[in-house]
Amino acid sequence: MARNSPPSLASLLAQADHFIDPETGAVTPAIQPATTFARETTYALIGEHVYGRYGNPTLGQAEKVIAAAENAHEALLFSSGMAGFAAVIETLPTGSRVVAPRIMYHGGQDWLRRMGEKRDIKPHFFDAADPGALGAAIDDVKPQLVWIESPVNPTWDVIDIEAAASFAHDAGAKLAVDSTVAPPVTTRALDLGADLVFHSATKYLNGHSDVTAGCVAAREGSQFWDEIKYLRGYMGSHLAPFEAWLLLRGLRTLDVRYARACGNAMAIAEHFEGHRNVEAVLYPGLPSHPGHGIAKRQMTNGFGGMLSLLVKGGAEDALRVCARLELFVRATSLGGVESLVEHRATIEGPESAVPKNLLRLSVGIEAADDLIADLDAALRD
Ligand SMILES: Cc1ncc(COP(=O)(O)O)c(C=O)c1O
């Protein structure tokens, strides 16, 4: 990097946007828990904050780093990913239509179905595995909002964000991208044309399975964005200062954590592709994956730490493999430093569209050889 060009994303994250406390010189921010902020005798505010529900210096610091990392106009942190998602959906007028993938984060999909029943916001689900399905659904439905995930959880189909933005904008819709599994170190959805980028910050952005948080960031200011801000302020769904501070700490190591998880996931995918007890390995980093070409363009710094194994047989066979694992932890969630395994069909219940023999792996930063050995032993005959 030339000395006078802006710092790379890795440097920006490592230094929390070159944070140095102007009063003390501290290289990490203090936690500011205040819920209210004093005024001068003139009644002018002393600082920029008014009341904790609308924002706070610690929250603002974490939002500033994420906005810089996403090349966003602004970022807002919520008390969970679902709180951020619900705020975005809440902005839609009654009678709106939303296009979203048929397999996506099931909580978001449940929420959309519920809005369909309660608020006449009609969700239309498309098959992310079919490259023509999104454009056709947008043409057909004329939605107000297109909500996509890429890669799609837990089949890891890759949706072309640039193409989705152009379809959505031609139809007068906004595009929101859930980029939880492809953080800005590898994909910058706003640069690819999305209007909003969303993260369950509970996952990679924090990375240590100890904060529940959500993030929504906008490419530009708009009435739509002001409405999301208004809703967060009045619904009180902002992230609390201590959690924001932990998240800021997690963000500083995002680049190295993600690189390590990507390397481990790739090693696992390559090792188990063609294994006698594995029907298929679903990982966008494999050249055999149908979305590999788009992933190469869109995931510029690693294909992620998430992959799924279709175990030969059915649900019982997948659950038996899961039960034999000793290093992978049987738990829901993803994006932490520890590796997790999940039988999604069990988690999502009888209505789930996820294959019954699918095991989802969230690959952490342990030694790749240990993870491979654990899976090898669990997949024995
Ligand atoms: C892809 C994706 N989006 C959204 C969410 C919801 O986020 P949270 O659990 O932080 O509310 C999750 C949670 O698992 C997720 O995996």
Place of tokens 């996403």: 70
Q: Please count the structural domains in the chain.
A: 2
Rounded distance, CA 229 to CA 32, Å? 21
Domain-located, residue 2: no
pLDDT in the model for residue 197: 98
Peptide bond into 143 cis (omega under 30): no
Atom number, ligand 1, closest to the C-alpha of residue 82: 11
81 CA to centre of ligand 1 in angstroms = 5
Nearest CA to ligand 1 atom 16: 105
Q: Give pLDDT tens digits along the chain (381 positions).
A: 566 677 899 999 999 999 999 999 999 999 999 999 999 999 999 999 999 999 999 999 999 999 999 999 999 999 999 999 999 999 999 999 999 999 999 999 999 999 888 889 999 999 999 999 999 999 999 999 999 999 999 999 999 999 999 999 999 999 999 999 999 999 999 999 999 999 999 999 999 999 999 999 999 999 999 999 999 999 999 999 999 999 999 999 999 999 999 999 999 999 999 999 999 999 999 999 999 999 999 999 999 999 999 999 999 999 999 999 999 999 999 999 999 999 999 988 888 889 999 999 999 999 999 999 999 999 999
DSSP at 5: S
Question: What is the CATH number for 19?
Answer: 3.40.640.10
Rounded distance, CA 82 to CA 196, Å? 15
Rounded distance, CA 76 to CA 78, Å? 7
In a shared domain, residues 264 and 312: yes
Query: Which residue in 17, 97, 105, 258 is the catalytic one?
Result: 105
Nearest CA to ligand 1 atom 14: 333
Q: What is the pTM of this model?
A: 0.97
Active site residue 110: no
pLDDT in the model for residue 100: 98
Rounded distance, CA 179 to CA 217, Å? 11
In a shared domain, residues 240 and 348: no
Phi first, then psi: give them for residue 36, nearest 5 degrees.
-145, 160
pLDDT in the model for residue 116: 85
108 CA to centre of ligand 1 in angstroms = 8
109 CA to centre of ligand 1 in angstroms = 11
Domain-located, residue 142: yes
Phi first, then psi: give them for residue 166, nearest 5 degrees.
-70, -40
pLDDT in the model for residue 353: 86
> How far lies 217's CA from each of 36, 110, 173, 265, 309, in Å?
25, 23, 17, 28, 32
Rounded distance, CA 119 to CA 121, Å? 5
Picking from 233, 251, 269, the residue at the C-terminal end of a domain is 251
Picking from 195, 223, 251, the residue at the C-terminal end of a domain is 251
Using CA atoms in the order 328, 247, 76, 5, what is the torsion angle rounded to 10 degrees? -100
Q: Which residues line ligand 1 (CB under 6 A)?
A: 80-82, 105, 107-108, 149, 153, 178, 180, 200, 202, 212, 214, 333-334
Atom number, ligand 1, closest to the C-alpha of residue 213: 10
Q: Which run of H or of E encompasses 169?
A: helix 161-170
Active site residue 203: yes
Distance of CA 200 to the CA centre of its chain: 5
Phi first, then psi: give them for residue 267, nearest 5 degrees.
-60, -40
> Are the C-beta atoms of 148 and 164 separated by less than 8 Å?
yes
pLDDT in the model for residue 1: 53
In a shared domain, residues 232 and 265: no
Domain-located, residue 4: no
Rounded distance, CA 106 to CA 89, Å? 15
Pocket of ligand 1, candidates 103, 104, 105, 210: which has the most ligand atoms within 8 Å of its Cβ, to mutate? Answer: 105
Active site residue 53: yes
Q: Which domain holds residue 306?
A: 255-378
Query: Which residue in 97, 174, 188, 203 is the catalytic one?
Result: 203
Rounded distance, CA 280 to CA 266, Å? 14
In a shared domain, residues 318 and 179: no
In a shared domain, residues 275 and 215: no
Active site residue 105: yes
Within 8 A by CB and 6+ apart from 223, the residues are none
Question: What is the CATH number for 318?
Answer: 3.90.1150.10
In a shared domain, residues 62 and 189: yes
Q: Which run of H or of E encompasses 198?
A: strand 196-200
Let me know how long the chain is: 381
